[in-house]
Amino acid sequence: MIHFDNLGKAWPDGTKALSDISLHIPRGQFCVILGPSGAGKSTLLRAVNGLMHPTQGQVRIDGTALTHATQKQLRRRIAMIHQHFNLTSRLSVAANVLSGLLPVVSTPRALTGWFRSEHRRKACGLLQRVGLAPTHLKRRAGDLSGGQQQRVGIARAFMLDPEVVLADEPVASLDPKISRDILTLIRDAAREHNTTVLCSLHQIDLAREFGDRIVGMRDGKIVFDGTPAEFTDERVSALYHGAHWEDPPKKAEPEAAGFELAHV
Amino acid sequence: MQKPIPVPAPGSQVHWHLDAPYSLRHLLIIAAILIVLILTGQRTEMDKMVMMTTEAAGKLLGVADDSQVVRGLSRVATSMWPPVLGETEEISRLPEFKRDQLPILSRIEVQERVEQRMNTETLQLEPHSESVEVLVKPVGYVVSVFIKMIETLEIALWGTIIAVILSAPLAYFAARNYSPNQASYTAARGFISLLRSAPELIVALFLVLAYGFGPIAGVLALGLHAAGFLGKFYAEDIENADKKPQEALEAIGAGKLKTLWYGVVPQVLPQYIAYTAYILDRNLRMATVIGLVGAGGIGQELKGRFDMFQYGHVMTILIAIFIFVFILDQLSARIRNKLI
């Protein structure tokens, strides 16, 4: 589904954000990218929808390389859930969810806010699915609590039936209880639609609990790639405290698709 | 026992060094500023202004004998008072006058007029009395000033509407992060500077030549200048808007216009309303002035009366402008408090 081919990114000042990342994420997998701050998790995620352009290597979605030419088409199939929710805080919850449809809605409809009735029904259905009440529809998004805002963000992400959901630290600004609810919601919604999820996290317990697979990153390199069961405490301390990883990191080549777990 | 903190002797080896607060450089700067003030002050006759004002103050206090300023002001004041409220028109000069349908608040009076006429036999000018029927409107001039004030408000309103319509596309092209390319950005910024640099009165002067006397020139003059102002401020708000919602919409490929509409406009709307309210406020004041060059509204009436030395009428107009601006100031302050 998603292939990272020798991906590298150097910032203009010469700092290396990513170096030589090769990964394959099969369809329907919930893959957690785990690592300390500054490990390059966000940069890796942002390479998938072209918010960041790599200086080396490429990303392929279903075999199509992401370039400036293909970006517009590919982006419609890739949703994103953001750490700070990135809602338009002065717009209503309904308008925020409907804005998830903007790539496929005609300009006159978008500018007048006159969305098709099936689209409006879909927005309502998704808001119900993420656990909000009908009274929330007309509230301003900025007036909701953090957890509720992230629910709106999830509803917006699923409006276009995405094949891939990129969740960039979706629970970093939420408390532990709500974090668990939000991740459950993303995982379950993804399973219902057989959506591939690439989710960056920095909480080890959440990564173990929700990931089908954990990719550990440090200093722009992959230092662990395996199932939560393989992610033992020694590997955790190596990821967070150890200077270097002893074994060469597992290369997740296409044949590693056998690694894919069974999905409900 | 307390010991004083030792002060390093002058010239001793200390690494830190704090200069005295003023130096020769400061003196030179002050001298330069003084020279500029003296030169420009002389050219703008500031010395004469001080003398004349002192003289006027002296006259008012009974110290000085005469003051040009006081004489001028009192001449104007006496000729302006009382303000003219009514109007009288000779009925014989009214083309479509109907005796049974008098305009409201008006009456017919017969006035005796004494005119000097030439006697055809003696070829001498002789006083000759004549009775003329006139239509008296006791508040006729107040009503016509009121109507002119309403026209002024309409000019201000439409000037603002035109400004908003013009500035929306200008702001899009003048916002660095939305303008399609460098050329369109530079062109839009240049056009905005051009609009902003041309004062309304001067623009109106030329528009009167193009569109003739009347409100069109006024509306366009106000609209063009304000479009520059709004375009600049709208564009800067677009550039400084919160990037997060825009990133969310960019990430799914929503396109620039839709991203702007859903990710930026709702966020900057309160500022936009504040700018637009300011422009409406400013246009209301400018619309009273702009008629001086013939661009419609109360200013045009004011200029006409002033040129005909009808200072009583001028007074009525000035009072009307004051009352209108005062009421509108109060109103706009209330509206602004509600919005923000």
Q: Is A194 part of a structural domain of the chain? A: no
Q: Is B60 part of a structural domain of the chain? A: no
Q: Nearest CA of chain B to the CA of A167: how many Å?
A: 12
Confidence of residue A117 (pLDDT cuts 50, 70, 90): very high
Q: Nearest CA of chain A to the CA of B28: how many Å?
A: 45
Burial, A58: exposed, middle or buried (Cβ in 10 Å; 0-12, 13-18, 19+)?
middle
Average pLDDT over residues B36-50: 94
Confidence of residue B150 (pLDDT cuts 50, 70, 90): very high
* DSSP-derived 3-state class of residue B81: coil
| pLDDT value of position B14 | 66
Amino acid at B244: K
Looking at the fold, whether B174 and B269 belong to one and the same domain comes out as yes
Residue B26 above 70 pLDDT?
yes
Q: Is A78 part of a structural domain of the chain? A: no
Looking at the fold, whether B157 and B244 belong to one and the same domain comes out as yes
Distances (CA, A) of B128 to A246, B109, B112, B123, B132: 126, 20, 10, 14, 13
Check if B241 contacts A (Cβ < 8 Å): no
| pLDDT value of position B103 | 77
Residue B53 above 90 pLDDT?
yes
Cα angle B182, B188, B190 (rounded to 5 degrees) comes to 100
Asked whether B141 and B85 are in contact (CB, 8 A), the reply is: yes
Contact B262 A95 (CB under 8 A): yes
Looking at the fold, whether B252 and B132 belong to one and the same domain comes out as no
Q: Is B222 part of a structural domain of the chain? A: yes
In angstroms, the CA B167 to CA B157 distance is 15
Q: Is B113 part of a structural domain of the chain? A: yes
Task: Give the count of Cβ contacts less than 8 A between chain A and B.
Answer: 76
Looking only at the bridges linking them, the beta strands covering A196-201 and A221-226 are unpaired
Domains held by chain A: number = 1
Distances (CA, A) of A184 to A202, A209, A211, A215: 16, 10, 11, 19
Check if B198 contacts A (Cβ < 8 Å): no
Per CB-CB distance under 8 Å, the chain A contacts of B266 are 88, 90-91, 95
Q: Is B203 part of a structural domain of the chain? A: yes
- The DSSP code sequence of B84-121 is P--EEEEGGG-TT--TTSPPTT-EEEEEEEEEEEE-TT
- The DSSP code sequence of B134-168 is EEEETTHHHHHHHHHHHHHHHHHHHHHHHHHHHHH
Check if A160 contacts B (Cβ < 8 Å): yes
Looking at the fold, whether B299 and B322 belong to one and the same domain comes out as yes
Look up the domain containing B255 and give its range.
141-339
Q: Is B44 part of a structural domain of the chain? A: no
Of B103, B138, B173, the position where a domain reaches its end is B138
Contact A49 B266 (CB under 8 A): no
Q: Is B49 part of a structural domain of the chain? A: no
Look up the domain containing A87 and give its range.
83-161
Looking at the fold, whether B259 and B126 belong to one and the same domain comes out as no
Looking at the fold, whether B113 and B179 belong to one and the same domain comes out as no
Contact A82 B249 (CB under 8 A): no
Other beta carbons less than 10 A from residue B133's beta carbon? 13
Q: Is A25 part of a structural domain of the chain? A: no
Which residue shows structure tokens 């002389």? Answer: B42
Of A235-239, B32-36, B157-161, the range with the lowest mean pLDDT is A235-239
Nearest CA-CA partner of A237 in A227, A250, A249, A223: A223
Q: Nearest CA of chain B to the CA of A90: how many Å?
A: 6
Which residue of chain A is at minimal alpha-carbon distance from B241? A88
Q: Is B281 part of a structural domain of the chain? A: yes
Average pLDDT over residues A20-30: 93
Domains held by chain B: number = 2
Sheet holding A16-25, edge to edge: A16-25, A2-10, A56-61, A64-65
Looking at the fold, whether B132 and B208 belong to one and the same domain comes out as no
Looking at the fold, whether B221 and B264 belong to one and the same domain comes out as yes
Q: Is A195 part of a structural domain of the chain? A: no
In angstroms, the CA B166 to CA B136 distance is 47
Of B104, B122, B138, the position where a domain reaches its end is B138
B-interface mutation test, from A48, A86, A115, A168, most B Cβ less than 10 A away: A86
- CATH code, domain with B314: 1.10.3720.10
Per CB-CB distance under 8 Å, the chain A contacts of B253 are 71-76, 103
Distances (CA, A) of A35 to A133, A201, B58: 35, 7, 84
Q: Is B5 part of a structural domain of the chain? A: no
Higher pLDDT, A30 or B119: A30
Most confident of A60-64, A226-230, B184-188, B266-270: B184-188
Q: Nearest CA of chain A to the CA of B257: how many Å?
A: 8
Average pLDDT over chain B, rounded to whole?
89
